[in-house]
C-alpha cells in the first residue's frame, strides 16, 4: 500500500513553500519496513545522482559507473536517475532543490563547488531527504553522509613523486581549476605544502586556477605559458584533463620532449599516455569503487541499516612501474579495450 508523506520545506533559492508529496514513506516508516515495501509494493524508493559536469571525462566515467552498478545490483530496490549540473553552481542547486520537491528519497550530490552546494544540501537534509555528497564529500553537514577519496592525500603522493623526480632547477608550471572545489583546492594545497616548500631550487614560472573547466581553456593557458616562458620542465596539475591539454600543446615540439606531466584521476587515456611515456604519473580515483560505495550507502540509509554513511576510497599512485596492472584492470572493467592497449604496445615497439 502506498504511503503519503507531507513535506514542509524551505529550500535554498526558493521562497518558503509547502508541498504535499506522494512518496514511498516517511523516514521512520522506511527504517522499519523498507524490505517489505520494496518486495511487496509497486512503489520503489527514488534515488538521484547529481553529476557535476558530464563534459568532464572523470565525472562522465563516474556517472556511467553509477548506472552500471545500479543496473546490476539495485534496480529491484529503487529507481535511479542522473542529472547533469554542467559545472554550473546555480543549476546544481536548482536540481537539488527540485529533487526535494519531486519526492526523491535519496540524493547523491557531486558538488561543483562545495561551499555553493552546502545550503541546498542542508535544506534537503532538513526536509528529511537522505543526502550523500561525493567527489568531493561535504563532511560538516549534520545528518548528511559522504563517500570520497582523500584529495589532500592524492595531491601529496603526486607532490612527493615530483619532489623526487623533477630535474634540478626545473622550470615549473602549476595548473588547477574549479575554484572552491574541495578536491582541486586540497590537491593544490598539497602541491604547495610539499613540492613548492621542499624543492626550493625550482623556478615556479606560473600558476593558474582556471575558472572554466574545459580543454580549450587548459590548452590556451599552456599556450600562453609556452609563449611567455619557453621551455617548461614540469607541469604539475590537479587532473588528467589538464595534464593532457598541456601535453597536446607541445607534443610536436622537441623542446618539450622531456617535460614531466603530473595529475590525478587515472582516466583511461591517461594510463595509455603513461605507458607511452607522455605522462609521468596519475592517482587512481576508482569510479567503480565510488559508485559501489555510494549506492550501497544509499541503500543502507533507505533501509534503515545506517543513519549516516562516511566512507573513503583508496589512494593509488600510478606510474610507468605499475601502469600495466591498472590498464588490465580497466580492460576488465570495459573502460579500455584490448585493441587500444595493443595499439599502444605496437606504437612503443615501432619507436
> Where are the chain's structural domains?
4-147+288-313, 151-284+321-350
pLDDT by residue (tens digit) across 127-147? 999 999 998 889 989 999 999
Same fold, 4-147+288-313 and 151-284+321-350: yes
At residue 58, the pLDDT reads: 87
How many whole angstroms separate alpha carbon 174 and alpha carbon 153?
18
* Preceding peptide of 17 cis, ω within 30°: no
Residue with cell string 542542508: 122
At residue 243, the pLDDT reads: 98
How many whole angstroms separate alpha carbon 272 and alpha carbon 294?
28
**CATH top-level class for 151-284+321-350?**
alpha beta
How many whole angstroms separate alpha carbon 263 and alpha carbon 187?
10
CB 133 within 8 A of CB 144: yes
At residue 42, the pLDDT reads: 60
Q: How many CB atoms lie within 10 A of CB 212?
A: 12
Q: How many CB atoms lie within 10 A of CB 40?
A: 9
Query: How many residues are there in the chain?
Result: 351
How many whole angstroms separate alpha carbon 259 and alpha carbon 250?
9
Can you give 179-211 as a three-state secondary structure string? Answer: CCCHHHHHHHHHHHHHHHHHCCCCEEEEEEEEC
Position 174 pLDDT exceeds 70: yes
pLDDT by residue (tens digit) across 175-230? 999 888 888 999 999 999 999 999 999 999 999 999 998 999 999 999 999 999 99
How many whole angstroms separate alpha carbon 71 and alpha carbon 83?
17
At residue 350, the pLDDT reads: 85
At residue 41, the pLDDT reads: 52
The 3-state DSSP class for residue 85 equals: coil
3-state helix, strand, coil in the chain (%, to 5): 50, 20, 30
Query: Does the structural domain 4-147+288-313 have CATH classification 3.40.50.2300?
Result: yes
pLDDT by residue (tens digit) across 50-97? 999 998 888 998 999 999 999 999 999 999 999 999 999 999 999 999
Amino acid at each position: 500500500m502506498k504511503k503519503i508523506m507531507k513535506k514542509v520545506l524551505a529550500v535554498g533559492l526558493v521562497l518558503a513553500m509547502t508541498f504535499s508529496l506522494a512518496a514511498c514513506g516517511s523516514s521512520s516508516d522506511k527504517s522499519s519496513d523498507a524490505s517489505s515495501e520494496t518486495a511487496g509494493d509497486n512503489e520503489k524508493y527514488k534515488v538521484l545522482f547529481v553529476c557535476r559536469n558530464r563534459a568532464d571525462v572523470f565525472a562522465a566515467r563516474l556517472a556511467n559507473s553509477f548506472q552500471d552498478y545500479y543496473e546490476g545490483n539495485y534496480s529491484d530496490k529503487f529507481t535511479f536517475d542522473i542529472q547533469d549540473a554542467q559545472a554550473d553552481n546555480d543549476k546544481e542547486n536548482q536540481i537539488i532543490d527540485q529533487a526535494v520537491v519531486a519526492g526523491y528519497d535519496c540524493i547523491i550530490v557531486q558538488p561543483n563547488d562545495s561551499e555553493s552546494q552546502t545550503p541546498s544540501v542542508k535544506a534537503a537534509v532538513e526536509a528529511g531527504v537522505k543526502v550523500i555528497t561525493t567527489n568531493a564529500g561535504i563532511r560538516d553537514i549534520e545528518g548528511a553522509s559522504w563517500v570520497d577519496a582523500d584529495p589532500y592525500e592524492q595531491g601529496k603522493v603526486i607532490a612527493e613523486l615530483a619532489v623526487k623526480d623533477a630535474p634540478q632547477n626545473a622550470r615549473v608550471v602549476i595548473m588547477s581549476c574549479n575554484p572552491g572545489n574541495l578536491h582541486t583546492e586540497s590537491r593544490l594545497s598539497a602541491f604547495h605544502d610539499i613540492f613548492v616548500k621542499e624543492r626550493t631550487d625550482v623556478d615556479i614560472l606560473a600558476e593558474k586556477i582556471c575558472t572554466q573547466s574545459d580543454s580549450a581553456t587548459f590548452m590556451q593557458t599552456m599556450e600562453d605559458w609556452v609563449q611567455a616562458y619557453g621551455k617548461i620542465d614540469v607541469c604539475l596539475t590537479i587532473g588528467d584533463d589538464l595534464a593532457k591539454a598541456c601535453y597536446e600543446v607541445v607534443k610536436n615540439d622537441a623542446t618539450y620532449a622531456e617535460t614531466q606531466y603530473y595529475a590525478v584521476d587515472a582516466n583511461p587515456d591517461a594510463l595509455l599516455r603513461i605507458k607511452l611515456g607522455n605522462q609521468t604519473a596519475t592517482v587512481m580515483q576508482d569510479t567503480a569503487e565510488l559508485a559501489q560505495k555510494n549506492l550501497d550507502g544509499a541503500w543502507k540509509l533507505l533501509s534503515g541499516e545506517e543513519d549516516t554513511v562516511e566512507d573513503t576510497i583508496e589512494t593509488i599512485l600510478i606510474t610507468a612501474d605499475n601502469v600495466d596492472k591498472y590498464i588490465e584492470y580497466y580492460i576488465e572493467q570495459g573502460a579500455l579495450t584490448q585493441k587500444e592497449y595493443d595499439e599502444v604496445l605496437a606504437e612503443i615497439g615501432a619507436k
